A = this chain, B = another copy of it.
Amino acid sequence: MSHNSFGHLFRVTTWGESHGPALGCVIDGCPPGLALTAADIQHWLDRRKPGGNRFVTQRREADEVKILSGVFEGAGGGPVTTGTPISLLIENTDQRSKDYSTISTQFRPGHADYTYFAKYGIRDYRGGGRASARETAARVAAGAIARRVLGQGVTIRAALVQVGPHAIDRGRWDWDQTEQNPFWCPDAETVPVWERFLDQVRKAGSSTGAIVEVTAEGVPAGWGAPIYGKLDAELAGALMSINAVKGVEIGAGFAAAAFTGEYNADAMTLDNGAVSFASNHAGGVAGGISTGQPVVARLALKPTSSILTPQISLNEAGEATEVRTTGRHDPCVGLRATPVAEAMMACVLADAFLRHRGQTGGGAFRPGVEGRD
């Protein structure tokens, strides 16, 4: 129930402030015997790393992860997980020393400055402290381990599907494209549109929101659980916890409000002994349990709150103040949220997998087949 942990059997606890000495996480409950090196985790961290192009913050962090516990030389010689807690550490190396005298008492609109003050009476104001998106590096590191738990049968990918008012054309969706542009954009023709738009936004010192879509293919039927442990409920909580997220939808999501029952139904047939669906409006989850179709979620991110335009606000003394953010910031947090969404999907699924295996022994019943897989 702690505030900085999630998951039940695969449990992730993160810690650290933006400008403290380091940040990190502890993963408890990881299955034993999984091959795991720091390089395996680094691969995923590098995808989230700032400084990669002109559309993300120019803060340059090595974001080099160290494994402090929970792995040991396996039978094959390489390091494997031991089943004990895995502690990961990422040092903060590029916290510029600067003059925080103004910001230290100001409440920046849209940030957590005021709410942390109201709740705690004290906050680490440097770079947003605990509320900074730097915390998401720990999520991505945890997600790398979750992917190991899930194995190669489950493929988790995310893409940016809307930047500001500019949505992609889903008819042109090509996953390969997401690795070939700085936007995780699956539609090649939309790339130049976003490029122009984000250049405009950046030059104006403004910012914009975005929508990310994250999918998991290869999830078998049967993961998740009734009522409050529903797979989609866990996913909604996990994705909403990402910085700047203001909405989450599964499958058809908000569009389903306008559907008829006939259109919304995903007709089932048997295809070579496997259950097959004519559509996936459910987004791979029915009654809170996976259907075997891809699990599909979308998350809406608000525009970055840090903008150059002066904003009216208050300080701790209750005085009116003008806030103007001059630091290094992303014009659109959606870009860096994309790998984070993948990580959260991975962690939620790893936990659902272990819980399913705990309660039932694992596997699934299949129509026309006696007994569990």
Question: Which among B120, B237, B306 is the interface contact of A234 at CB below 8 angstroms?
Answer: B237
A26 to B341, CA, bound (A): 24
Do A209 and B16 contact each other (CB < 8 Å), given the known contacts A21-B68, A290-B115, A320-B269? no
Of chain B, the residue at the smallest CB distance from A247 is: B249
Q: How many copies does the complex hold?
A: 4
Total A residues in contact with B, Cβ cutoff 8 Å: 167
Of chain B, the residue at the smallest CB distance from A239 is: B236
Which residues of B are found within 8 Å of A294, using beta-carbon distances? none
Which of A118, A119, A249 is the most central at the interface, judged by chain B CB atoms within 10 Å of its CB?
A: A119
A236 to B344, CA, bound (A): 15
Which residues of B are found within 8 Å of A178, using beta-carbon distances? none
Is A357 part of the contact surface with B, judged by Cβ < 8 Å?
A: yes
A275 to B267, CA, bound (A): 52
A141 to chain B, nearest CB (A): 14
Of chain B, the residue at the smallest CB distance from A274 is: B318
Is A361 part of the contact surface with B, judged by Cβ < 8 Å?
A: yes
Query: Is A268 in contact with B115, judged by CB distance below 8 angstroms?
Result: no
> Per-position contact with B for A12-28: 1 when CB-CB < 8 Å, else 0?
01111100111110101
Question: Which among B1, B275, B307, B368 is the interface contact of A262 at CB below 8 angstroms?
Answer: B307
What are 27 A-B contacts with C-beta separation under 8 Å? A2-B85, A4-B227, A5-B13, A13-B85, A16-B69, A17-B84, A23-B69, A75-B122, A110-B286, A111-B287, A112-B288, A114-B291, A118-B222, A118-B292, A119-B224, A119-B289, A131-B287, A162-B257, A206-B262, A210-B257, A230-B240, A237-B237, A246-B256, A257-B334, A259-B303, A316-B367, A357-B361
